[in-house]
Structure 1
C-alpha cells in the first residue's frame, strides 16, 4: 500500500514538473549587447547569476552588484571563463542598507559612461524573526523594495517593467529561515519548480527582447504580459506607496533623475 502511494506521488510530481517546465516561457531573442552596460543586483546566485551569464554571453559589460564580494567574484570568474567575456565586474551593493545603495549609485554615475539595463533582482525571503535594517526598516522590505526603489530613482532614464519568475528552485527559501515549513516549501520548489536558468528567462526577455524595447509599466510572467492583481492595479495605492517610499528612504531632489 505504502509502496503504491509513494510511486503514485513520485509519478505525479514528475508529471507536474514536466508540464510546468514545458509551459514555461523562454526568451527567444538573439539580440547581441556588445557595447551595452548592464547592472544585475543579487547576481551571485540563482536567477541573478543566470541572467548575468546570459547577458555576458551576448557581449554586454556586466556589473554584478552584490553584498558578498567573495561569492560574487567566484561567479564573475566562472562567467568570464565560460563565456569568454572579460567585461564582467563585481561591485559592492547591499540593498538592505540605504548608505550602501547611495554609495553604489554615486560610483556608477561617476565612473560609467552609460547604463543600458538595470536588473533589480536581489531579494530575500522573510526571516523567522523580525529583523530591522540599519535604517530602521523591516529587513525584507528594505532588501526587496526600498533599496531598489532608491537605486532606480538615482539611475533612471529607462523603461520599467516588472515580472514574476514563477516557481524556481533557488537557495532563497532556506537562506534566511530553516524551519520545518520552509523545508517543505523547499522540497516543493526543488521537485516541481523551474531550474535557475529557466527561471531567469522572463528577466532576460525584458532585458533584451526587441518586442519590449518601447514597453513600460507592464507586468510579465513566462515572457508574456499578464494582468496583475487588483491591489497592484490600484493607482491610488501605488501613489501612496511611492510617496511613503520616498519618505522612508529620504529621497532628495538631487537623487531624482527624472
Structure 2
C-alpha cells in the first residue's frame, strides 16, 4: 500500500472524525467525573450573632463563602488585599444577602506588618470572633518574588501570614468558644515535601512552592489542633476541589489558554468549591470535631508525611522565628 493511499483525503477525514469522537468521549468522561462527589453543605445553621473573618473574600470561593455566611446572618469581615475589588464584592454580598453587617478590612497576608495592623484593628472593633477562615491563596508560576521583609511571597501569603494572624487573634477566638478555625488547603500537598529547616525558600521554583505552601497549611492545621485541645477552639482543613477561579490568572500566555479551557470545562464553580469550607464553618455535626481533613464535605485521609507530631512541633518553632513572634504576643 502506497503512502498516497494512506494519506488520501478520505482516510484523513475518517481519522479526524475518529479522533474527534475519542476526544468527545474523553471530555464527557472527565465532565462526568468532575460532577460526581461534589459535596454540598446541607446544614441550615443560623449564624446570627456570630462574627466571621474570611481572608481573600473578594473573589472565588472566598467570596462565595462570605456570601453564604452573610445569608445566614453572620457579621462577615472580608479581609482583602485589593480594596477596590473588595468594596465591589462587599456591595454585591450585602445586596444579595440582605445583610448590611458585611465589612471590608485591608489585609495583605504577605506582609507581617499588615497582618499586625489588621489584627490590632479587629481586636479594637470586635468583642468576639466565632469563625476564622484562612481562605486567601496566591500562586506564582515562574517569577521569584520576595517581600520587603525578606519572605518568599507564595509561602508568606499562603502560610506565614495566616500563622501570625492566628496567634494575634487566638485570645478573641478562645473567649468566644466554641469557635472554629478553617484552613483551605489542597490535595496538591501530595506533590510536595516540606523542609522544616527552610520555611522561607526564596530560591525555590515558584510554581512548586504553591504545593509546598499547601503541605505547610495541613501541617499547621494539625499542629494547631493539637495545641488547642480542650480550649473550645476547633481546627480543621480541607481540599475545595479544582476550582475555576482567579488563582489561575498568573499562568502566563500561552499556557493560560489550555488552563483556562480546562478550568471552564471541568473544574468546579466557586460556589461548588466553597461548600466544604461552609460545611466546616457552620455544621452542627462538627461541633467539637478537630484536627481533621475534609473533601466534598466528608472526612478524608491524609498521607503520613503531614501527620508526624514531631514534624509539626519543629515546623511550629521555626515558624515562630520566621514571623518574628514577640514575647508579648499571644502564644499558642
Specify the TM-score bucket, using the shorter chain as the normaliser. Answer: over 0.9
Secondary structure at the counterpart of residue 255 of structure 1: coil
List alignment gaps of at least 5 residues for structure 1.
none
Query: Does residue 134 of the first structure (1) align with residue 209 of the second (2)?
Result: no
- Structure 1 residue 126: Cα displacement: 2.2
The one of 292, 296, 301 aligned to 1:218: 292
| Aligned position for 2:86 | 72
- Does the CA contact (< 8 Å) of 1:80 and 1:88 recur in 2? yes
Distance 1:11 1:81, change over 3 A: farther
Query: Does residue 207 of the first structure (1) align with residue 281 of the second (2)?
Result: yes
Larger radius of gyration: 2
| Aligned position for 1:40 | 54
1 CA distance for matches of 2:17 and 2:327? 66
Query: Does residue 162 of the first structure (1) align with residue 162 of the second (2)?
Result: no
Over the residues paired in the alignment, what is the CA RMSD in angstroms?
A: 1.5
| Residue deviations 1:33-78 (CA, integer Å, cap 9, x gap) | 0111111000011010000011011011101100001100101100
- Structure 1 residue 22: Cα displacement: 3.0
The one of 111, 126, 136 aligned to 1:112: 126
The one of 66, 83, 88 aligned to 2:102: 88
- Structure 1 residue 3: Cα displacement: 3.5
- Structure 1 residue 96: Cα displacement: 0.5
| Residue deviations 1:225-245 (CA, integer Å, cap 9, x gap) | 111122111222111111111
Q: Which is further off, 141-150 or 120-129?
A: 120-129
| Residue deviations 1:178-227 (CA, integer Å, cap 9, x gap) | 14445433332222111100000100000000111211111111111111
- Does the CA contact (< 8 Å) of 1:163 and 1:219 recur in 2? yes
- Does the CA contact (< 8 Å) of 1:39 and 1:62 recur in 2? yes
Query: Does residue 103 of the first structure (1) align with residue 178 of the second (2)?
Result: no
2 CA distance for matches of 1:179 and 1:228? 34
2 CA distance for matches of 1:231 and 1:182? 32
Number of residue pairs the alignment of both structures matches: 257
2 CA distance for matches of 1:204 and 1:44? 16
Query: Does residue 146 of the first structure (1) align with residue 193 of the second (2)?
Result: no
Secondary structure at the counterpart of residue 312 of structure 2: helix
| Aligned position for 2:219 | none
| Aligned position for 1:185 | 259
| Aligned position for 2:137 | 123
| Aligned position for 2:26 | 12
2 CA distance for matches of 1:252 and 1:164? 32
- Structure 1 residue 99: Cα displacement: 0.4
Q: Which is further off, 248-257 or 213-222?
A: 248-257
Query: Does residue 233 of the first structure (1) align with residue 307 of the second (2)?
Result: yes
1 CA distance for matches of 2:315 and 2:27? 39
- Does the CA contact (< 8 Å) of 1:14 and 1:192 recur in 2? no
- Does the CA contact (< 8 Å) of 1:62 and 1:89 recur in 2? yes
